[in-house]
Amino acid sequence: MMRQYDLVERVRSYNPDTNEDLLNRAYVYAMKAHGSQTRASGDPYFTHPLEVAAILTDLKLDDATIVAALLHDTIEDTEATRAEIDRFFGPEIGALVEGLTKLKRLELVSREAKQAENLRKLLLAIADDVRVLLVKLADRLHNMRTLEFVPEASRRRIAEETLDIYAPLAGRMGMQEMREELEDLSFRTLDPQAYGVVMQRLDALADRNRNLIGEIESQLSRKFRDHGLTARVFGRRKRPFSIWTKMERKSIGFEQLSDIFGFRVIMPDLESCYRALGIVHTTWPVVPGRFKDYISTPKQNDYRSIHTTVIGPGKQRVELQIRTEDMDQIAELGIAAHAFYKDDVASPTERLKRESNAFAWLRHTIGILSESANPEEFLEHTKLELFHDQVFCFTPKGKLIALPRHANVIDFAYAVHTDVGNSAVGCKINGKFAALSSELQNGDEVEVLTSDAQSAPPSAWETLAITGKARAAIRRATRTAVRDQYAGLGRRIVERLFERTKLEYADDKLKGALPRLARASVEDVMAAVGRGEIKASDVARAMYPDYKEERVVRYGAKKTAAPATAAKSPTTPATEPHRGPFAIPISGLNSGLPVKFAPNGGAVPGDRIVGIVTPGEGITIYPIQSPALKDFEDEPERWLDVRWDVDETSPQRFPARIRVENVNEPGSLAQVATVIAEHDGNIDNISMSRRSPDFTELTIDLEVYDLKHLSAIINQLRAKTIVARVDRVNG
């Protein structure tokens, strides 16, 4: 175990002005707080926060971060409190430790929900102080290094979480070295056999090519010296997880990989990087499609480097990364490469906002917090955002938009602005019209065409979008549109009830009754009525406590007032004047409101129809002659007049049911089916029952265009000699 003065010396090696007393007090406090606690390995628990602090000294972090690492588990796992930490070490360190403390006593229904809530809290804490992330990543790295002592079931879960969230999060913050180690440790746990095979092949290849690597390094260095450049050149083999994922992604074997070894070329300044590139490209043939300039167009995590691949010495493919010393530091350490201990009046997080583009992604991700309906949805969005392979596209005005690989125009539109995404109706890619689902490539110029007539995107876009921002915005817009439609429906239901009962309705009066309805706004009440969660009579009773609900009888000897929502028919008399239907467009099942047809018999255009609101299910459409409407005779507020809104240029089929009694002889069923097929009907379902030795009853669920189409089929069936009777069924 690292001793007290060892830790102080590690910090002093890069920060001569370290507060030795602060470090010593934190060391002693944490050791006493954890006391006799032990880890799964049997080691004293205090060895864990001590090793986390040691990892952070390798990143040359400030005193407050090192102290927070020593104390990061005290609030969660000991008797220590935030108030005590603040008193002994100050509110800055207290806030860091609090940000690292997991949610306690969190009763959520799933592990995913708990994981999401902890990630949500972590990201919010990072937004306040980025050092929280550095401690958290170091904490996870040490836990992964000692994962073999954890029970096997938990081991796999921790490795999956690391691979899904923490390794990509390190990558998003530019901490490439830590990301690669986290990935390899997870890979070794999740697929030890594959890890072992890759390592064995890598070691054998390294032994075989040891002289070749040295030769390439020396030839490159000599070539740069000949042109008056001082360069530091060194070879580096790829990590096992990176190799394995490339083999899986491209479906190739280990022997087919040509870039297992890469070479770093570290130059003294920016100009030298491009001079070195020119020397390399004029000396050896370039491999087409393998050049990327991340200096002129940095990645969102601040990564800057020139990538190129040439057929170099010995006819070997040589992958080169050309960068300056500062770029190399940021490429390996990311945000940790910024020296927190330097004199600066600003806070570390404020300095990072000035110096690091990684914060732009963090702010964007936190923006999704307010758009996520539940923890699992937030976790989904965050995982989508963490994968950082990117394409770079441009708006017509030249603004750079960075997107994940495989992103399409829908993702681009939402990356520009949520309103642009919601109103997008078309696009041009490099001046040519294209589909909104078109996958984008590096360098594409994308112009999104919008229309004021479209205020909400089609819900199907959610399955097409790749980015979390786009999916969240589409989901929110869809929820808002449906809620608005429910609110409009609910308002009409409430207003009709008040008209029929001669009560005065006003939004201001309803506002005073909101507490009795447990809703925050008038629109919330109306949407709840539209969804069937609240009855219109409940609204009346909340506004007028003396209100008594009248009983309305639609079927039976005694006829009282029928609500104006019911369509007039011989079976539904109305004593009040008809006020006109509340028109809900019915065009198949594609309405914005959840609409379905009567389960036993359906309805087709040409039928006079009525809608019944069902709590939690939307609206069910019945033909006006359906006997099933008797079940709703005592609930007038659930009745809606509806109309058909069928686009004759795009015919759709609707459900209907018929009952056919036919002669029981060979081929009779085939004749019935032939009649239906010849008249362009579609059989959705069929059932048979034997009524007598001579006759069979067929119940057939059909799909037809309208009442005229259904009548034609019925008439043709009746003309058949094998058919004794045909009737339409209305359930």
Q: Which of 281-285, 589-593, 676-680 has the lowest mean pLDDT?
A: 589-593
Which residue type, as a one-letter code, is found at position 470?
Answer: A
The pLDDT value given to residue 373: 53
The pLDDT value given to residue 266: 95
Confidence tier at 580 by pLDDT (50, 70, 90): very low
Confidence tier at 236 by pLDDT (50, 70, 90): confident
Catalytic residue positions, numbered: 76-77
pLDDT average, residue stretch 465-494 = 84
Q: Give the closest residue to 195 by CA, choosing from 159, 166, 169.
A: 159
For residue 259, pLDDT beyond 60: yes
The pLDDT value given to residue 118: 66
Confidence tier at 235 by pLDDT (50, 70, 90): confident
Calculate what percentage of the chain has a pLDDT beyond 90. 31
What ranges make up the beta strands (E) of 618-705?
618-623, 639-641, 643-644, 654-663, 682-690, 695-704
pLDDT average, residue stretch 343-370 = 56
Q: CA-CA-CA-CA torsion for 218, 220, 221, 227, nearest 10 degrees?
A: 140
Average pLDDT value for the chain: 81
Q: CA-CA-CA-CA torsion for 224, 227, 228, 232, nearest 10 degrees?
A: -10
pLDDT average, residue stretch 524-542 = 86
CA-to-CA distance for 155 and 213, rounded, in angstroms?
A: 37
This prediction has a pTM of 0.57
Q: Which of 65-69, 426-430, 483-487, 505-509 has the lowest mean pLDDT?
A: 483-487
pLDDT average, residue stretch 503-515 = 89
Secondary structure of residue 449 in the 3-state scheme: strand
DSSP state of 286: B
Calculate what percentage of the chain has a pLDDT beyond 70. 81
Summarize pLDDT for 9-66 with one digit per residue, the tens: 999 998 899 999 999 999 999 999 999 999 988 899 999 999 999 999 998 888 999 9
Q: Which of 14-28, 478-492, 646-660, 686-700: highest mean pLDDT?
A: 14-28
pLDDT average, residue stretch 559-569 = 34
CA 28, 32, 35, 39 torsion: positive or negative? negative
Structure tokens at 69: 């690492």
Structure tokens at 591: 């309405």
pLDDT average, residue stretch 189-216 = 84
For residue 156, pLDDT beyond 80: yes
The b/e string for 242-252 (b: 16+ C-beta within 10 A; e otherwise) is bbbeebeeeee
Secondary structure of residue 53 in the 3-state scheme: helix
pLDDT average, residue stretch 436-463 = 88
Element (H, E) at 375: helix 375-386
Domains of the chain: 4-189 (1.10.3210.10), 196-337 (3.30.460.10), 467-549 (no CATH), 552-650 (no CATH), 654-728 (3.30.70.260)
